[in-house]
Structure 1
Amino acid sequence: MPTPRDVLTPASLHLLQLIADTGSFAAAARASDMVPSALTYRVRQIEDALDVLLFDRSSRQARLTPAGAELLREGASLLAGIDAVANRVKRVATGWEPQLTIAVDSIIDRSTVMELCSGFLSLNPPTRLKLRAETLSGTLAALSSGQADLALGVVMDQQPRPGLLRESLGVVRFVFAVAPHHPLAQVPEPLSDDIIRQHRAVAIADSIQHGDSLSIGLLTGQDVFTVADLPAKVDAQIRGLGVGFLPTCLAQNYIDTGRLVVKRVERAEQQIQSSYAWRKGGQAEQGRALQWWLEQLQAPLTRAALLGVRNWRG
């Protein structure tokens, strides 16, 4: 006995829609150049496989049953899906990747990423776009492990990584910031490590699953409140739940409005080199989606905006 998969073919769905449109088996048979008995047999096969009646035959007209109407509604979606797959396959054959995954570090400006996504999706590419939220070492690990094709906001040492290419986004400078109502806000500057160690720090959890995690600005023996990402860290420090270093580009608005206070510290200024990275491969090996993103990242204004610097001047 035929199964639903055997009978629910695009041709069968088209035939059922033709019967519904013409209102009779005889008219549908004429329109499809079939003898009525052959068309009736085809419909019976479908009904038997699904164990439902698709048409009410009690009158001279062939009227869809509720089950038949539902099948045609879903069938229209299936046919549209088949057409979409066919179009996607044709376009992928032109060099577009089926999916492009981008690991986005929490230091990266989300609005700029979304502007880039909007520009990419406006091309109506066959490539599905996927963003991964990562932090610190996890951003590079997502790329190295093959879970991402492009990583934004990578913190890399100066040693080249086998199989990876990188370009600089820029230098990210940090300031030590506290809430105006935090006890450290009233302590004379510069703050020593001994004084800072007496107060809870807010740290970001490294998203790396295996291997050595990375931390910035923490002191040995200091109480730590760990949060998921930079926006949460800013929020925690504004609330006075702890202190710590924040990227100037992210903290500046809160500093300007008085919600955070910058305190000079004795230790050297904190700064990191932020990069974007992707896996090696010749131009011919790169998909068109990755090529598009790499072209956008060549623009100094785009790189600066990704680090939250909106009024950049080169």
Structure 2
Amino acid sequence: MELQQMRYVLAVAETANFTRAAERCHVVQSALSHQIKRLEHELGAELFARTSRRVRLTPAGEAFLPAARQCLEAADRAAAEAAATVGEVRGRLSVGVIPTVAAVDVPAALRDLRRRHPQVRVALRTGASDDLTAEVANGRLDVAFLGLPSSSRPTGVQSHELARDHLVAVLARDHPLADGGQLDLADLSAEPFVDFPYGSAGRAQTDHAFAHAKLTRDVAFEVTDAALMAQVIRHGLAIGFLPSAYLQRAPELRGLAAITVTNAPSRVEYVVWGSPGPSPATVAFLATIGLQPTPE
């Protein structure tokens, strides 16, 4: 069994097409198909069910894929570790960010990383803080930027606190409360709200503040994206809370009213990475934002 055969299997599984898989792997389709057939013969089981219209994993293929992916990741990590001993940083870096990250300019940090280490390949994705933390903990992400309630801390990962911030109320410019100056949560509790999904870290920040103030509210709209939240607010459907630092760098929020709230929700931004032993690419990326992780 060869690593290249595993790469071919992974490519076919991800594209569901032998032709596209061969293009991704920069080989002719016949060579890719031949290598997969050799592997299937060695395993004594077919990995793919092939028809004229589609390709899908068999039960044997489903069982084979997770361990094959782990082998490839381990091989890539071994090559990166060896290269790092002679000062060359390469390999794959997977970064997760919440949509409202504000403490770090992540694209600028990635630009600096690529200037110094052009052989690093980057996968960037957005998600909710809880999901990103879990993916770092299980090794699917190398680094993630989170926003958590001030009463919470990341668990199962190494972490560094980046910044603390208060949320501000965001309203349509023509909302009756938009020109009322500083507000209190009680002034807002009768309004319909738009917020992140129940149970998420983004939602918990505001839920905790209202519970602490012994107030209830109506979350009439749930969204997973701050830009979509802004559109709901802009059309006068609801009001919301977003971090003040994020508002300063979010063009989709231009034209909305941002109002200071005396007992506003608060959040803490963190960067987290896997434990133990971050990869050379992870160490290099953290260095671009001024961090030097130490082994646990």
Whole-angstrom CA distance in 1 between matches of 2:221 and 2:112: 38
Shift of 1:104: 0.6
Percent of paired sites with the same residue: 18
Whole-angstrom CA distance in 1 between matches of 2:96 and 2:231: 23
Whole-angstrom CA distance in 2 between matches of 1:114 and 1:262: 26
**Which amino acid letter does the alignment assign opposite residue 198 of structure 1?**
A
Change (3 A) 1:113 1:207: farther
Does 2:291 correspond to 1:295? no
Match in the other structure for 2:27: 78
State the Cα deviation string for residues 147-193 of structure 1 (Å, max 9, x = none): 2111112427667666422112111222112112123335x565454
Does 2:237 correspond to 1:244? no
Match in the other structure for 1:308: none
**Which amino acid letter does the alignment assign opposite residue 245 of structure 2?**
C
Match in the other structure for 1:305: none
Match in the other structure for 2:96: 103
State the Cα deviation string for residues 29-88 of structure 1 (Å, max 9, x = none): xxxxxxxxxxxxxxxxxxxxxxxxxxxxxxxxxxxxxxxxxxxxx8xx539xxxxxxxx8
Shift of 1:264: 4.6
**Which amino acid letter does the alignment assign opposite residue 259 of structure 2?**
K
State the Cα deviation string for residues 216-265 of structure 1 (Å, max 9, x = none): 3245341421122222223332332211222112324789x982223354
Match in the other structure for 1:197: 189
Whole-angstrom CA distance in 1 between matches of 2:94 and 2:254: 38
Match in the other structure for 2:223: 227
Aligned ranges for residues 38-49 of structure 1 at < 5 Å?
none
Match in the other structure for 1:276: 271
Aligned ranges for residues 111-122 of structure 1 at < 5 Å?
112-122=105-115
Whole-angstrom CA distance in 2 between matches of 1:253 and 1:159: 25
Question: The residue matched to 2:177 in structure 1 has which SS?
Answer: helix
Whole-angstrom CA distance in 1 between matches of 2:153 and 2:190: 38
**Which amino acid letter does the alignment assign opposite residue 191 of structure 2?**
H
Change (3 A) 1:113 1:173: same
Shift of 1:276: 0.5
2:171 to 165, 178, 188: 178
Change (3 A) 1:287 1:253: closer
Shift of 1:102: 1.1
**Which amino acid letter does the alignment assign opposite residue 289 of structure 1?**
A
Does 2:94 correspond to 1:94? no
Question: The residue matched to 2:268 in structure 1 has which SS?
Answer: strand
Between Structure 1 and Structure 2, whose CA radius of gyration is higher? 1
2:205 to 216, 224, 228: 216
**Which amino acid letter does the alignment assign opposite residue 194 of structure 2?**
V
Question: The residue matched to 1:183 in structure 2 has which SS?
Answer: coil
CA RMSD of aligned residues (A): 4.0
Shift of 1:108: 1.5
* Alpha-carbon contact 1:217-1:244 (below 8 Å) kept: no
TM normalised by structure 2 equals 0.57
* Alpha-carbon contact 2:150-2:267 (below 8 Å) kept: no
* Alpha-carbon contact 2:99-2:225 (below 8 Å) kept: yes
Aligned ranges for residues 112-191 of structure 1 at < 5 Å?
112-122=105-115, 123-125=117-119, 127-155=120-148, 163-185=156-178, 188=180, 191=183
State the Cα deviation string for residues 89-144 of structure 1 (Å, max 9, x = none): 9953414564221111112159932222223233222x431112112423323322
State the Cα deviation string for residues 262-293 of structure 1 (Å, max 9, x = none): 3354x513321111111222xxx432101111
Whole-angstrom CA distance in 2 between matches of 1:159 and 1:263: 25
Whole-angstrom CA distance in 2 between matches of 1:206 and 1:103: 21
